A and B are shown apart, each in its own frame.
Chain A
Amino acid sequence: MGIEEELGPYVVFTIGPVEVTSTVVTTWLVMAFLVVTSYLIGRNLKMRPNVFQNILEWVVEAIDGLLKDMVGPGSRILLPFVGTLAIFIAAANLSGLLPGLKAPTTDINTPLALALIVFFSVHYYGIKRHGLREHFADYLRPIFLMLPIHLASELARTISLTVRLFGNMMGEEIVVSILFLVLPLFVPVPMMIFGIFTGFVQAYVFTILTITYLAGAVKAREG
């Protein structure tokens, strides 16, 4: 069974005892790309934007609009976190289409890390908004018997975020590699085009779910 060597993350180099895998290296490249691009575009903001600034403004406005819709007032504090999640996941999913790069989201560690970040950030922002006692007291409403259901749903949300993102990206990569065995340059292309679409869709769904969970924790509550 040698296929997991092809489909799993591979070690690129080692620093002493630490093995640096393809996931980490590709994540570095995605980070560098996002940071450099945003810096270059944001350096000279004009009132009459050029194409790139326009694109960035559209993305920021779209996410801000989603936040305002679903969280209501006080949503601006969530914008950097949610925006970074959305842009990073989209860029990471698309990076798998570039030759030689393996998308970091095809390694289950990356979606798991992102889902755990969302899990802890829900509690963080909830405590920040409502205070420690009030945030956790909400788990006992409307009746204290709801507590195991809330805990189970927290666990299920984290796992489902992970598996959804990982499964979609890994499935696409497996199909592309199998099509690659049929006829290299041409046959995988339709699947890769579909992969662009699902990369964006999965980033969007992850973001929407994150906003939903944050809204549940952060929304103003009546008594």
Chain B
Amino acid sequence: MDFITLSTLLAGAGITIGIIVPAIGQAMVAREAMKAIARQPEASGSISTNLLIALAMLESLAIYVLVVVLILLFANPLLKYKVGG
């Protein structure tokens, strides 16, 4: 299997697997926030604000995975050593 095929396949697998953990983390945070809002509806504004910040923090982990995959696909630094695949 040549270099380009392998790196593309692994990039696809990488983003798929790498998204799982941040997604689960965000779901856990959102679940607790929903419970908190249900318990105390008058605090929902403050809870929503903090929820959004926490989600953005966790999102950034997924973004790290995305950036690495984008680099692999579009700006692969090792490509020039493997000219011809």
A residues sitting closer than 8 Å to B (CB atoms) are: 1, 3-4, 7, 160, 163-164, 166-168, 170-171, 174, 201-202, 204-205, 208
Contacts and interface: CB of A to CB of B under 8 A. Distances in A.
A168 B59 contact: yes
B56 A171 contact: no
A166 B67 contact: yes
Given A205-B53, A205-B56, A174 B63 contact: no
B74 A167 contact: no
Contact of A202 (B56, B64, B67, B70): B56
Contacts of B53: 205, 208
Closest 7 CB pairs of A and B: A167-B63, A164-B60, A205-B56, A167-B67, A4-B74, A167-B66, A171-B66
Interface of B: 52-53, 56-57, 59-60, 63-64, 66-67, 70, 74-75
Contacts of B66: 167, 171
A166 B66 CA distance: 11
6 contacts: A164-B59, A167-B64, A167-B67, A201-B56, A205-B57, A208-B53
A164 B63 contact: yes
A201 to B, nearest CB: 6
